[in-house]
Structure 1
Amino acid sequence: MRIVAALAFGLLLASSITASAYTQDEVNACTPDAMRLCSAAIPDAHRVGDCLYHARRQLSPQCAAVFARYIGHGPQRRRAVAETN
């Protein structure tokens, strides 16, 4: 549970959104990537968010869509926006 909370906070910091804007599904989408790519940064939420952002080319499609939704990079953002409309 501590890891999930750290990841959620990391996503919040990395995306510069309000606290109510991320969902449990978004956290669940990025938890495996955080464990795989950023385990050395856990439990520091800020470091996890930074690590995921810097490793964004290696993210799973699900986690990449979460980041794209908030930070708006490239074709993943266009797909994420299209899926939500």
Structure 2
Amino acid sequence: MTAYLTSTIRQAGIVLAFAVSFAALSATPSLAYSSEAQQMCTGDAFRLCSDEIPNISKITACMMKKRASLSTGCRAVMDRDLAQKSNKVAAQ
């Protein structure tokens, strides 16, 4: 029972840290990602970059580095969000 409780608390902590990280990403203009990206990429971030949680810049770098391993949906949403961000920067 204690091992199960410890595991559950640890998982809840990881989920919370990841949620805070993505919230901060969304609040940071240079690293803003849509809620759709958050939804599509959370599983990939846990699968590929869980060691980097809760460090936002390291999660972002890890996701970019492992882009080829991202799920199709996550990769498409991240590409779209990055293109939109690039267009905004170019327009300024």
Into which bin does the TM-score normalised by the smaller protein fall?
Answer: 0.5 to 0.7
- Higher helix fraction (1 or 2): 2
Partner of residue 56, structure 1: 67
Distance 1:61 1:8 in 2: 22
Q: 8 Å contact 2:34–2:81 — kept in the other structure?
A: no
> What is the RMSD of the two structures over their aligned residues, measured on CA atoms?
2.5
What SS does the corresponding residue of 1:16 show, helix, strand or coil? Answer: helix
Q: How many residues matched?
A: 68
Q: Deviations over 1:8-63 (max 9, x none)?
A: 545777x935x4xx332220111000000001101101100000000000000111
CA change 1:8–1:33 in 2 (3 A) is: farther
CA change 1:54–1:11 in 2 (3 A) is: farther
- Point out where structure 1 has 5 or more consecutive residues left out of the alignment: 73-85
Q: Give the TM-score taking structure 2 as reference length.
A: 0.60
Percent identity between the two aligned chains: 32
AA aligned opposite 1:41:
E
Q: 8 Å contact 1:9–1:46 — kept in the other structure?
A: no
Partner of residue 81, structure 2: 70
Q: Does 1:45 align with 2:59?
A: no
Between structure 1 and structure 2, the one with the greater Rg is 2
Hey, which bits of structure 1, 4+ residues long, moved more than 3 A? Answer: 7-13
- Point out where structure 2 has 5 or more consecutive residues left out of the alignment: 1-15, 84-92
